[in-house]
Amino acid sequence: MVKLTKIYTRTGDGGTTGLVDGSRRSKADMRMVAIGEVDEANSAIGVALLSVEGPLGKRLTMIQNDLFDLGADLATPGEVEGALRIIPEQVARLEAEIDAMNASLSPLTSFILPGGSPASAHLHLARAIARRAERAAVALAGQEAINPPALAYLNRLSDWLFVAARTMNQSGASDVLWVPGGARMVR
């Protein structure tokens, strides 16, 4: 269990931060960038929760907990006994939830624009930030080994947020469809 009695430590004043294995990295290190992007995605989900209640809100809270697990996973380079890692079952849960939400949505006939309702707009923003977190994790994976389910989780998360955004748009009825070249006609 985490117990924080002091929020600042001054150990990062020189531009480094500590990882779970005791090593220190530059705050600009790709591992720290990925951790920061995951934290930002989690924060965006927290904003979305201001507009989302009920079962979907409970699932978003579970995802927030998963993202803390993911942050701990990324903060633990190499093999550390007892390390908290994203596991395939967490990815499978997202897939099952995507399938369940998607079952009530009509198939897309166009790309959709982010928006429609406040809840949907917040979820789309969280989706875009989750995609950025995924790109950062992929960049990190190009430099050093990371847990493969962590990458899969981030990939599935953006899909989950997309389908959830459609769900919040009256099961897709309020989706704003992209009209290719449509703005060219407006004068």
Whether 186 shows a pLDDT value over 70: the answer reads no
Give 172's pLDDT tier (boundaries 50, 70, 90): low
Query: Which of 72-76, 116-120, 145-149 is the least confident region?
Result: 116-120
The predicted model gives 134-161 an average pLDDT of: 97
Whether 71 shows a pLDDT value over 90: the answer reads yes
Q: Identify which of 130, 107, 118, 128 has the alpha carbon closest to the alpha carbon of residue 177.
A: 107
**pLDDT confidence of residue 1:** 66
**pLDDT confidence of residue 187:** 63
**pLDDT confidence of residue 126:** 98
Query: What are the tens digits of pLDDT across the range 2-35?
Result: 676 777 777 677 778 877 888 888 788 999 999 9
Type of residue numbered 28: A
Apex 37 CA angle, 178 and 120, nearest 5: 35
**pLDDT confidence of residue 95:** 98
Q: What percent of the chain has pLDDT over 90?
A: 64
Buried b / exposed e across 124-144, counting CB within 10 Å, b at 16+? bbbbebbbbbbebbeebbeee
**pLDDT confidence of residue 79:** 86
**pLDDT confidence of residue 2:** 66
Give 176's pLDDT tier (boundaries 50, 70, 90): confident
- The CA–CA distances, whole Å, from 60 to 10, 52, 77, 112, 142 equal 33, 9, 27, 22, 29
Distance from C-alpha of 97 to C-alpha of 91, rounded to nearest angstrom? 10
Q: What is the DSSP letter of 181?
A: T
Apex 140 CA angle, 139 and 145, nearest 5: 130
**pLDDT confidence of residue 144:** 95
The predicted model gives 76-105 an average pLDDT of: 94
